[in-house]
Structure 1
Amino acid sequence: MSDVQLKCPACGAPINFDVPSGKMKCNFCGATFSVEEVNQFNGISAANQELNAAYQAQKAGSQPPIPPPVPPGQQADPTLPAQTNSEGAPLPPAGVAAPAPQTGWVEPPPIYMDEATGQQMAQFECDSCGGEIIGSPDMVSAKCPWCNNNFVATGQLVRTRVPDRMIPFGMTKEQALAAFKKEASRLKLAPNAFKHASVDDIQGVYIPYWLYDASVSGMAEFECERRKTWSDSDYTYTKHDVYQVSRSGNIAYLDVPVSGTSKVTQDLTESIEPFDYSTSVGFSPAYLTGFMTNKYDVEAEEANPRALARMKRSAKDVLRKSVTGYDNVIMTNSVFEPAFGELEYVFLPVWLMNVDFQGKNYNYAMNGQTGKFVGTFPVSSVKYWGGLIGIATVLAAVVGSVFIPYVMPWILN
């Protein structure tokens, strides 16, 4: 399947996903269509099947057979091996002229490198204007820098896999900016200049995630204490009881997410959870238009330990919370065993923001479905120390008003 720019069924212009309506909207003629209608017009369903078939073939290590030369009037037999020349190169089919021998030097195709990482960049051609698009090797969707139309490199998915499902964006860019400004305005210690800082770098991104299903069975042992204190006219008594308590259980987990990209930290991606997976839809390139998308660069096998650690940590919390009625509880031992279930590959919506303030970069993220916002804000040293001095002044005034009337007579005498 070639890379695509989805076309409007009404006028043929590029069409994009419109977050507020949840439909596809043409910016040229103003027509709106459902994602299914655009998929049907652009042949996306068949294309997705083609991508999946290519991925499965590559995963199995198989390659499409090279057809041998066929005499005129006959059909090729794909089960026969390809004929080759003395150097091992396949011969052209009968009736097809062999390529002319090379008579001079040929300029090799350009290779673009990321100077920061030394990684070779990928090259794409825009279907609308023919311009060259340079992106990271795992880029799936972007915006053409020449004509500003949205571009979806669906061919990239052949080398990985088509997502099993995805959650479309439900929050707009304007809502993401409003969430940032609201959070900044309510922080008393944030610098005033930062509250009015311009957020130039904001991007809607579909982040690849792995979703894990499993059930975790286990047991935990706890040392629990109860203390009771009472007094009479002569003594104060304390009764200290120690108990050994055990708990066991089987806990089922559904859709435990682990980020499939190394470009965003796990702490950031986990901070904006949860997502409501009941609203997920089948994958379609239509939802990617207007947003950045990268395929995974963290294999499921690499993400497995993170998923298992999250499940075990949660299972420990469940068993711990079941032990109640004690003054102190310490877990002394625990054993957990997982029963592995299904594994899915999904795209989830996230707004990423970067603010450069006083030479430091501050990163923020917002759940593109629920609007949950996370990030660390700078603290004004003037406001911080001014606040401490103000608190100390108030405390000194309160203490002075209480003790000075009692201390002054002693000083005067």
Structure 2
Amino acid sequence: MSDVQLKCPACGAPINFDVPSGKMKCNFCGAMFSVEEVNQFNGISAANQELNVAYQAQKVGAQPPPPPGSQPAEQTDSSLAVPTNGEGASIPPSGAAAPTPQTGWVEPPATYMDEATGQQMAQFECDSCGGEIIGSPDMVSAKCPWCNNNFVATGQLVRTRVPDRMIPFGMTKEQALAAFKKEASRLKLTPNAFKHASVDDIQGVYVPYWLYDASVSGMANFECERTSSWSDSDYNYTKHDVYQVSRSGNIAYLDVPVSGTSKVTADLTESIEPFDYSTSVGFSPAYLTGFMTNKYDVEAEEANPRALDRMRHSAKDVLRDSVTGYDSVKMTNSAFEPAFGELEYVFLPVWLLNVDFAGKNYNYAMNGQTGKFVGTFPVSNVKYWGGLIGIATVLAIALGSVLIPFIMPWFLD
């Protein structure tokens, strides 16, 4: 199943992204090409360049460059020129109000997939859980990667948002399946039938995320205790000291992720972190071939509080970990103030597995870049209670072997 249909430059057959090589591979003729070569053959490269120019112009608040051959507009208003102090910092005009400091993350200007691919995309909506997936127009049905139910295309998406950057898949479907089976086999209480259950429903999905940059400055006060004991020939002594300790610091955060979909819990998405964002690339439809793409339903404004909460919680941990050498440490109060940085919209690779077992659906996720695997496995009641009974029997035998020699004489008397 493919979101975007690209053709092989060698034979014209459909060509997909090949995870092991990081290139595009034709399953018909076996030819391999770089992503850029396939984009150029399919006429996508030029569209992406125009899209990037428009995006960068919006990002800096400028207008897109004029078409070739056109005359630049004449600037007649001298107030548009901004003087500087010689060090690159702008000097506000006399009497002008100082610029208002940024009070929160500002969402970047959106660009859209139909402009990059030149085709409309189908929207699939699950009747069971409401999950939405973006697919190519020739798709008529699919399995929901969130709840494993069938869903059908309900309409056409004319405008689908393009990420500012993305991380391509680095783990294959076979590797994801092997990781699942290895984890299931490792757990002793997992039912044997579950370990051998068929896992046909495994989907590679680009999950939308919001990425946040910021720095957090703050302080925290701690009440710390230290106890020491000693004795002499007459007395035992205990000394109990209480200290008031303060810490402050400024911590910079880059690429703090928050999921852009409500169909996956924060526990699941944050459990498969971290991702290596240094390997991220610019968006290209070629990377989507062979995978599903989830449509985001969590706006940036909704995700902002979670990003800030993660940063503040981490900052507290950093200050707490700097207080050492005491028997006990208790944080009494704290205060943190963020300085907001950039906000980006990205696609991150996730393998989603669904297993129907004993009338229940079990969901699993694997980081599509690193292979980190998370999920809850069922527990066999037979193995659980059998294990408890076995342990109790061993303890009873061991205890009996110690006590019987002392108890038997009483009965014999």
| TM more than 0.5 | yes
Aligned-pair CA distance for 1:249: 0.4
> Where do 5+ consecutive residues of structure 1 fail to align?
60-110, 127-131, 137-144, 146-152
Matched residue of 1:199: which SS? coil
Aligned to 2:372: 372
Counterparts of 2:176 and 2:132 in 1: how far apart (Å)? 33
CA deviation profile, 1:350-395 (whole Å, cap 9, x unmatched): 0000111101111100000100000000111111111111111111
Q: 1:398 to 1:120 in 2, by over 3 A?
A: closer
Aligned to 1:187: 187
Indicate whether 1:219 and 2:231 are aligned: no
Matched residue of 2:204: which SS? strand
Q: 1:295 to 1:120 in 2, by over 3 A?
A: closer
Matched residue of 1:311: which SS? helix
Q: Check conservation: 1:224, 1:243, Cα contact below 8 A.
A: yes
CA deviation profile, 1:192-226 (whole Å, cap 9, x unmatched): 11111111211000001111111100000001011
Aligned-pair CA distance for 1:49: 4.5
Q: 1:366 to 1:4 in 2, by over 3 A?
A: closer
Partner amino acid, structure 2, of 1:231:
S
Q: Give TM-score, length-normalised by structure 1.
A: 0.75
Aligned-pair CA distance for 1:407: 2.9
CA deviation profile, 1:295-336 (whole Å, cap 9, x unmatched): 322111111100000000000000000001111111010000
Aligned to 1:125: 137
Counterparts of 1:249 and 1:156 in 2: how far apart (Å)? 44
Q: 1:317 to 1:118 in 2, by over 3 A?
A: closer
Aligned-pair CA distance for 1:264: 1.4
Aligned residues: 337
Aligned to 2:14: 14
Counterparts of 2:4 and 2:176 in 1: how far apart (Å)? 28
Matched residue of 1:197: which SS? coil
Q: Check conservation: 1:121, 1:134, Cα contact below 8 A.
A: no
Aligned-pair CA distance for 1:13: 1.5
Matched residue of 1:125: which SS? coil
Indicate whether 1:335 and 2:335 are aligned: yes
Matched residue of 2:209: which SS? strand
Aligned to 1:177: 177
Counterparts of 2:29 and 2:197 in 1: how far apart (Å)? 36
Matched residue of 1:307: which SS? helix
Aligned to 2:202: 202
Percent sequence identity over matched residues?
84
Q: Check conservation: 1:218, 1:336, Cα contact below 8 A.
A: yes
Q: Check conservation: 1:215, 1:250, Cα contact below 8 A.
A: yes
Q: Give TM-score, length-normalised by structure 2.
A: 0.75
Aligned to 1:164: 164
Aligned-pair CA distance for 1:165: 1.1
Partner amino acid, structure 2, of 1:240:
H
- Look at both structures and tell me which one has the larger radius of gyration over its CA atoms: 1
Aligned-pair CA distance for 1:403: 2.2
Q: 1:224 to 1:389 in 2, by over 3 A?
A: same
> Where do 5+ consecutive residues of structure 2 fail to align?
60-122, 144-151
Aligned to 1:312: 312
Q: Check conservation: 2:133, 2:295, Cα contact below 8 A.
A: no
Aligned-pair CA distance for 1:120: 10
Counterparts of 2:57 and 2:259 in 1: how far apart (Å)? 25
- Mapping of residues 148-159 of structure 1, within 5 Å: 156-157=159-160
Matched residue of 1:16: which SS? strand
Q: 1:221 to 1:116 in 2, by over 3 A?
A: same
Counterparts of 2:343 and 2:235 in 1: how far apart (Å)? 64
CA deviation profile, 1:244-299 (whole Å, cap 9, x unmatched): 10100000111101111112111111110001111111110000000000232211
Q: Check conservation: 1:122, 1:134, Cα contact below 8 A.
A: no
Q: Check conservation: 1:207, 1:347, Cα contact below 8 A.
A: yes
Counterparts of 1:205 and 1:120 in 2: how far apart (Å)? 12
